[in-house]
Amino acid sequence: MTDVFGLISLCFIPGMITIIIGHGMWKRVAVYDSFIEGAKTGIETAITILPFIIAIFIGIEAMVSSGAMEYLENFLGPVLEKLGIPKELTSLILLRPVSGSGSLALVERIVTAYGADSFLGNAASVMVGSCETVFYVIAVYFGATAVKKIRHSLLAGLIGYGAGVMASVWILKVSMKG
Amino acid sequence: MMNYIWAGMLITGIAFATYRGVLSAFSESLMESCTDGVYFVIGLAGIMAVWSGLMNIAKDSGLIDAFARLVRPVIRFLFPKERNRETIAMILMSFSANIFGAGNSATIFALKSMVMLDEENGRSPVASDAMCMFLAVNMSMIQIVPVTIVKIRSDAGSEDPGSIIIPSILAGFASMIVSIAVCKFYERKQA
């Protein structure tokens, strides 16, 4: 099953390109000119989001390199443990919504320290595999728009994230028993 | 809201760094992270140009229209007011790129979708229902094969590195259903 999915993932980009260009040629679209036209807007979007990316990058860096994140972990650990979430996963839970690469590095550490097939190793993997970087998504995606009031989007993302974390732990607890 | 969150992050950081006496290292990594941000966007700009170019071809050839017609029922539920085929196609592209793990491409489609939703919203400063729903789904949208994690696990000597795939999909679904429910709840409350 993994192989089939792996193959689809592998073919996604070349497949898309073939279909789009093939269909374009068939419909007699001036594919080169059309591509250039679209690419221009792509570069524009990249420049538009740059300030937002920088803002979120320094915001996250401020929390991490000052040690504020660590403090938050120590504070939240016991609370999460009451909900049945092992305290070893606290830092991952806090880091995941703000940093994709950071949380991957952390999973690597957890997996190496506790073993890849241990409960903690599995839980860490599933948690990262089932969630997205919520804050990053909100900051960058709204950054491309004129929106100032983000309404319930952050809340929906965070509650969903919490549900994902709880589900990760529960699903593994049930499946690893058998 | 973003104002408070961002200011909170920076001020908390500075306060902590001062308290722990690590101000100089703190300032240095702060400045470094700005450069990282620029590199990140430059890397993104290339792929962004490629996909925007390709999508423009697909728009001109009518491929996008055909694609949008195919999946109308799902879109009707999530985005009841959405009528623009191009926007629908872009949203779908972003979802499918996400599922198949084309990370950066997914970001680009998502950004484009947001820009289009923004225009439909009249570039209003208040986010539309569709924007919130789109983000909520996007944030809990997961990769079918989390390639990087599977790789990390096999490097660490896992007996079955792919064993986390099904649990990840299930947990991702749980997260998505809850996010969608929160959005639907707020949409009703406003209406």
pLDDT of residue A94: 86
Contact A169, A84 (CB under 8 A): yes
Contact check, Cβ <8 Å, B146/A128: yes
Q: Could you tell me the maximum CA-CA distance found in chain B, to the nearest angstrom?
A: 61
Measured between alpha carbons, how far is residue B92 from residues A86, A155, B89, B112, B117 in Å? 36, 23, 5, 11, 13
Q: Say if the ipTM goes beyond 0.90.
A: no
Q: What is the per-residue pLDDT across B97-134, written as a single tens digit (0 to 9) for each? A: 777 656 667 788 888 899 999 999 999 999 999 999 99
pLDDT of residue B191: 65
- Contact residues for A77 (Cβ-Cβ < 8 A; gap 6+): A87, A90
pLDDT of residue B117: 93
What is the rounded CA–CA span in Å between residue B75 and residue B64? Answer: 14
pLDDT of residue B18: 92
Residues of chain B with pLDDT under 70: 1-2, 100-104, 143-145, 147, 191
Residues of chain A with pLDDT under 50: none
Q: Whose structure tokens read 């595999």?
A: A129
Contact check, Cβ <8 Å, A65/B29: yes
Helices (H), B21-84: 23-61, 63-70, 72-78
A6, closest residue in chain B (CA to CA): B145
Contact check, Cβ <8 Å, A45/B111: yes
Q: Extract the tokens encoding B184.
A: 């639907």
With b for 16 or more beta-carbon neighbours within 10 A and e for fewer, the B71-98 pattern comes to: eeeebeebbeebeebbbbbbbbbbbbbb
CA atoms in the 13 A half-sphere facing the CB of A171? 26
Minimum distance, in Å, between the CA of residue A81 and any CA atom of chain B: 19
pLDDT of residue A81: 87
Angle between helices B23-61 and B63-70 (to 10 degrees): 100
Q: Extract the tokens encoding B75.
A: 């879109």
Q: What are phi and psi of B100, to 5 degrees?
A: -90, 10
- Check residue A89 and report its DSSP letter: G
Contact check, Cβ <8 Å, B126/A149: yes
Which of B96, B139, B162 lies closest to A137 in CB terms? B139
- Contact residues for B141 (Cβ-Cβ < 8 A; gap 6+): A132, B95, B98, B99, B172, B176
